[in-house]
Structure 1
Amino acid sequence: MVALAALVPTPGGDPVALRVWLTRAGRFMNATTTNSLGVTDDARALALFLRDRAQRSPHTLRAYRTEVRRLIAWCEAHRRGPLSDLTRDDLLAFRHTLGPAGSSGGATFVVPSRPNAARSSKPSRSDASRRRALAVISSLYRYWQKTGYLVINLAAELSGGGGARMTWTPARILPARVLALCDTVTAGARPPALSVLVWARRCAIWSLYRFAGVRLAELEWSAEHGLPRLSVEPGATPAVGPARGSSGTTGGQWTLHVRGKGGRLRAIPLPFRCAPVLRDYRVLRGLPAEPAPFESVPLVHSEKRDALGHSGLYDEVKAVLQAAEETVPSGDASTRALLHAASTHWLRHGYARTLVVDHAVPLPVAQTLLGHASVQTTAAYARTDLTQLRDFVEGSFPDVCSSRSMLPGGSSAS
Structure 2
Amino acid sequence: MTPAIQRYLEHLRVERRVSAHTLTAYGDALARLEKLADAAQRPLATLQSAHIQRFAAQLHGAGLGARSIALTLSGWRGFYRWWAQQPDAAGLASNPVEGVRAPRAARPLPKALAVDEAVALAMTETPSDGEAASVEAEALAARDHAIAELLYGCGLRLGELLGLDLAAGAESAGWIDIDDATAHVFGKGSKRRSVPVGGPALQALNDWLLHRPALAGSPDGGALFVSRLGNRLSPNQLRSRLKAQGDRAGVATPVHPHMLRHSYASHLLQSSGDLRGVQELLGHASIATTQVYTRLDFQHLAKVYDAAHPRAKRK
Q: TM-score, normalised by structure 1?
A: 0.58
Match 2:295 to one of 380, 383, 392 = 383
2:204 is the alignment partner of 1:277: yes
Match 1:212 to one of 142, 147, 154 = 154
Aligned to 2:189: 262
Aligned to 1:359: 272
Aligned to 1:131: 70
Match 1:181 to one of 120, 123, 131 = 120
Residues 299 and 72 of structure 1: CA distance in aligned 2, closer, same or farther (over 3 Å): same
Contact residue 254 and residue 269 of structure 1 kept, 8 A: yes
Matches within 5 A, 1:3-14: none
Question: One-letter code of the match for 1:351?
Answer: Y
Matches within 5 A, 1:232-271: 232-233=178-179, 253-271=180-198
2:59 is the alignment partner of 1:78: no
Residues 369 and 141 of structure 1: CA distance in aligned 2, closer, same or farther (over 3 Å): farther
Distance 1:220 1:309 in 2: 7
Distance 1:282 1:137 in 2: 43
SS of the residue corresponding to residue 224 of structure 2 reads coil
Contact residue 216 and residue 344 of structure 1 kept, 8 A: yes
Give the superposition deviation at 1:75: 0.8
Aligned to 1:243: none
Question: One-letter code of the match for 2:115?
Answer: A
Give the superposition deviation at 1:204: 0.9
SS of the residue corresponding to residue 181 of structure 2 reads strand
Question: One-letter code of the match for 2:19?
Answer: R
Contact residue 70 and residue 101 of structure 2 kept, 8 A: yes
2:150 is the alignment partner of 1:192: no
Distance 1:135 1:299 in 2: 33
Distance 1:299 1:153 in 2: 42
Report Cα offsets for 1:224-276 as digits up to 9, x if no partner. Answer: 6223211144xxxxxxxxxxxxxxxxxxx411111112221111111222121
Matches within 5 A, 1:288-299: 297-299=222-224
- Quick one: percent identity of the two aligned structures? 24
Distance 1:63 1:169 in 2: 21
Aligned to 1:16: none
Contact residue 300 and residue 308 of structure 1 kept, 8 A: yes
Distance 1:192 1:276 in 2: 20
Report Cα offsets for 1:345-391 as digits up to 9, x if no partner. Answer: 1111212222334431233x32222122322211122223426899x
Give the superposition deviation at 1:283: 2.9
Structure 2: runs of 5 or more not aligned: 214-220, 303-315
Contact residue 126 and residue 138 of structure 2 kept, 8 A: no
Distance 1:356 1:157 in 2: 35
Residues 72 and 180 of structure 1: CA distance in aligned 2, closer, same or farther (over 3 Å): same
Question: One-letter code of the match for 2:9?
Answer: L
2:254 is the alignment partner of 1:349: no
2:190 is the alignment partner of 1:227: no
Match 1:95 to one of 53, 56, 60 = 53
Alpha-carbon RMSD: 3.5
SS of the residue corresponding to residue 373 of structure 1 reads coil
Aligned to 2:310: none
2:238 is the alignment partner of 1:313: yes
Distance 1:348 1:188 in 2: 22
Paired residues in the alignment total 285
Question: One-letter code of the match for 2:75?
Answer: V
Aligned to 2:313: none
Question: One-letter code of the match for 1:257?
Answer: H
Contact residue 52 and residue 100 of structure 2 kept, 8 A: no
Larger radius of gyration: 1
Distance 1:377 1:280 in 2: 35
Question: One-letter code of the match for 2:273?
Answer: A
Match 2:28 to one of 44, 52, 66 = 66
Aligned to 2:305: none
Residues 86 and 224 of structure 1: CA distance in aligned 2, closer, same or farther (over 3 Å): farther
Distance 2:35 2:77 in 1: 17
Report Cα offsets for 1:34-59 as digits up to 9, x if no partner. Answer: xxxxxxx343223433565685233x
Contact residue 213 and residue 348 of structure 1 kept, 8 A: yes
Which moved further from structure 2: 187-196 or 201-210?
187-196
Aligned to 1:404: none
SS of the residue corresponding to residue 80 of structure 2 reads helix
Residues 135 and 350 of structure 1: CA distance in aligned 2, closer, same or farther (over 3 Å): farther
Residues 145 and 182 of structure 1: CA distance in aligned 2, closer, same or farther (over 3 Å): farther
